[in-house]
Chains A and B, each alone.
Chain A
């Protein structure tokens, strides 16, 4: 185990939880908790190097080998379909991909369904499987606004508790994809850093069992 392992963590609350799991699993890096402007955090003893990236970018860093392993949501993996190994379900950051619309919305199959979403590929695939003709409206945020302003008929988005929907008179029509954080690995790195990656996987797996 003479090589460093590069770990891409998703910025934000989920990433902090994920780091805590790494720490409990024996891959700690105390400097990460200090408030600093540093981008990369290293623990030379444990041969581990962490960096924070935008959650939707983790898969790109890993697929292209800038990170050997990383943690990304199942939503990102389904949307971008990166060429990576999916080694472990960390069972945190649980939520669902769902179709939602205004309360009492009835789908009129005579019309093309307008779907607003950040997850264009997931939405297309879901409706293609149902043989439903749709018009995808790609948005980058505030998806819930779309049906309220009649920009779209429904939205496809991540739903955690559903409280944002409720407050805006929207409701879940169908949850179709359970989501949680996944440990992913670059296919080439896995071949050359097998020992350390498998060690991380096994130790994190024990942490998952404790949850």
Chain B
């Protein structure tokens, strides 16, 4: 066995460790074909990280694509069953990399829960996301956001349409001064102004920022969102996640067309971009005519090889 371990690259080793973590928690391995009908990606183009997809024509004339994404395929093939389907995958996906503007094979490992998503399930997924990071490197942070809270705050401030899109983009950039300018220019003031700017300023380790969330409570919608965020954080900590590595960070803004509720991103010190990304995507489920909700995350293993071995 030790001889086997010696020949594993760091990426392979981490991939096996993560798989054993997920299967130990009752997640089933999900295997899928390398190809998928191109149609699926055209209909959900914005869900993909990059627009371009490698396509080819099958022998029967059907246009197929090399998978640029795993989640869409899993959702498409999921059945509307009661309870929760828990799966994990370890697949290659094909995307255009920003740096070279050409296609790249990327190793993606992740898990999905599809079905009746309770706070317990969300906490479990958060816990597994945090544990995945911990297995990759001890110097990690899991940044957690609530898209429900962001959207509740923005609708309290009567911000909709184009302006909403602009504010959400600026939130992602932590661009507080531009948000302030935009709010002033659009006549948003008083409590509404304070709440929107708080989406940038309320930030940091959960120990210090969790109580600040109460400041957002102004109506039922914000109250529910705050309570949900607090509850899943408390539960995932009780499952064993270190509160010291959990952060509240509303700059994690996934596309609201597909995502809702809790969203999160994982970082490892020394790796310049997030290496884990996930959240609830009930809106994608609705778009694909599925009855239930879903949550999941993906770990980008190509970045993992840059982490210094521990």
Contact = CB atoms under 8 A, between A and B. Distances in A.
Contact of B175 (A86, A186, A191, A192): A86
Given A86-B175, A89-B177, A194 B204 contact: yes
Interface string A74-108: 00000000011111110000000000000000000
A210 to B, nearest CB: 16
Interface residues of A, number: 19
Interface in A56-89: 63-65, 83-89
B141 A191 contact: yes
Contacts, number: 48
A203 interface: no
A64 B251 contact: no
Ranked nearest first, the 8 interchain pairs of A and B with the lowest CB-CB distance are A65-B272, A85-B174, A86-B175, A191-B141, A86-B173, A192-B269, A188-B267, A191-B267
Contacts of B174: 85-87, 185, 190
A187 interface: yes
A83 B269 contact: no
Contacts of A85: 173-175, 251
Nearest to B252: A187
A187 to B, nearest CB: 7
Contact of A192 (B173, B176, B249, B267): B267
A190 B141 CA distance: 11
B143 A191 contact: yes
A86 B180 CA distance: 13
Nearest to B143: A191
A180 B251 CA distance: 23
Contacts of A186: 272
Nearest to B269: A192
Interface in B251-310: 251, 267-274
A83 B274 CA distance: 10
A64 B177 contact: no
Contact of B271 (A84, A89, A188, A194): A188
Interface residues of B, number: 21
A189 B141 CA distance: 11
Chain B CB count within 10 A is highest, among A86, A88, A185, for A86
Given A65-B272, A187-B274, A188-B267, A88 B143 contact: no
Nearest to A84: B173
Contacts of B16: none
Contacts of B274: 187-188
B227 to A, nearest CB: 26
Contact of A88 (B141, B177, B267, B270): B177
Nearest to B173: A86
A10 to B, nearest CB: 19
B178 interface: yes
A191 B273 CA distance: 11
Given A187-B274, A188-B267, A192-B269, A86 B178 contact: yes
Interface string A27-65: 000000000000000000000000000000000000111
B271 A192 contact: no
B289 to A, nearest CB: 33
Given A86-B174, A86-B178, A87-B174, A64 B272 contact: yes
A66 B204 CA distance: 23
B51 to A, nearest CB: 14
B268 to A, nearest CB: 8
